[in-house]
Amino acid sequence: MHTNSHINPVIIASENGRAGAIAGMELLHRGGSAMDAAELAARVTEDDPEEHSVGFSGLPNLLGQVELDASLMNGRTLESGAVAGVQDYGNVISLARKVMEELPHVLLMGRGAERFAGEMGQKPADQRSFASLERWRKRFEETGVELTGEELRHLVTRLTVPMHLRDRVPHGTVNFLVRDSHGDLASAVSTSGLGWKYPGRVGDSPIIGAGNYCDNRYGAVACTGSGELAIRVSTARSLILYMKMGMDLAAAGQECLAEIEQLSPRPGQYMNIVAMTPDGQHAGFSTTAGKRYLYYTGEMAEPQMGERMTSEPV
Ligand code: ASP
């Protein structure tokens, strides 16, 4: 039951979420729910042909195929839906929502998710956009790796963790944390995952508790970066749990960064986190200096960038 309908709406996003946040905020101003705004914001990003880490024009796997992952969580009910490894359908955030609403499941993968997309009336399309294939071809050229033989496993490390191309590590994902004017929270994450991943690799984005978590009582959290790290220490749910146990937002985020650093990340691996409390405080965290996130509250004319906190020296 909603008692207060005059709460200031808020959208927190990863740096690439600007167009989605604007669309989401318009919906919130018209009285839309946090769930609808989070889904819409992610959809706008998925549909952007210039966005090469989310949706149709996403980063390909080792075989040049785009495999998409997404998840969505309702902070009021703790219901969630997710899909992983989806080829040939672009709006995976909406598919994740349908999993939540139409099935007694949380996560669908691969062929089953594609079948379900067809049942839900989504139209298949070729995700191997020209841009993706071009990037795939160039990647092999610039790293001097040849796609020959059966054993793709030897190529993964050379293509996904390039020491000498550290600033060009092929990541990308969009995060949206939303509070609506009733005070309800929702979170949405959509991605093509790690570029040049082994076919079938799934990161943190569709894993509730790792790359996405949301609970009206404590807050919302989502991640971008090397999903393997967030999976290993359940970053999104852990940050929420630290706040539940009494830490403030900054301390909870720092604890999550410390846990990630204790994993001894491989060269090129990193993690970014965005977080929001039920009263609208927000913060970004990163294992890499100089990273930013986006925040947009109901009274602001447009989204602004904030600096992400990095680990405090011990
Ligand atoms: N977290 C995503 C994944 O590991 C990728 C990214 O955010 O760059 O699939």
Sheet-wide strand order for 292-297: 107-109, 80-86, 68-74, 185-191, 174-179, 10-14, 292-297, 304-307
Q: Is the CB of 132 under 6 A from ligand 1?
A: no
| Residue at token pair 């690799």 | 201
| Residue at token pair 């979170």 | 187
Q: Is the CB of 269 under 6 A from ligand 1?
A: no
Give residue 149's pLDDT.
65
Structure confidence by residue, pLDDT tens digits, 163-210:
444 455 556 799 999 999 999 999 999 999 998 899 999 999 999 999
pLDDT band at 38 (very low <50, low <70, confident <90, very high): very high
The closest alpha carbon to 296, from 75, 13, 46, 38, belongs to 13
| CATH assignment of 10-307, among 3.40.190.10, 4.10.520.10, 3.60.20.30, 3.40.50.970 | 3.60.20.30
Per annotation, catalytic residue among 160, 173, 224, 235:
173
Q: How far apart are CA 267 and CA 299, in angstroms?
A: 41
The C-alpha angle with vertex 243 and arms to 262 and 32, in degrees rounded to 5, equals 115
Q: Is the pLDDT of residue 135 over 50?
A: yes
Residues 117-144, mean pLDDT to the nearest whole number = 81
Q: Is the pLDDT of residue 290 over 80?
A: yes
Mutate to test the pocket of ligand 1, among 54, 197, 202, 205 (most ligand atoms within 8 A of CB): 205
Enumerate the β-bridge partners of residue 175.
Answer: 189
Q: Is the pLDDT of residue 218 over 60?
A: yes
Give residue 132's pLDDT.
73
Structure confidence by residue, pLDDT tens digits, 80-103:
999 999 999 989 999 999 999 999
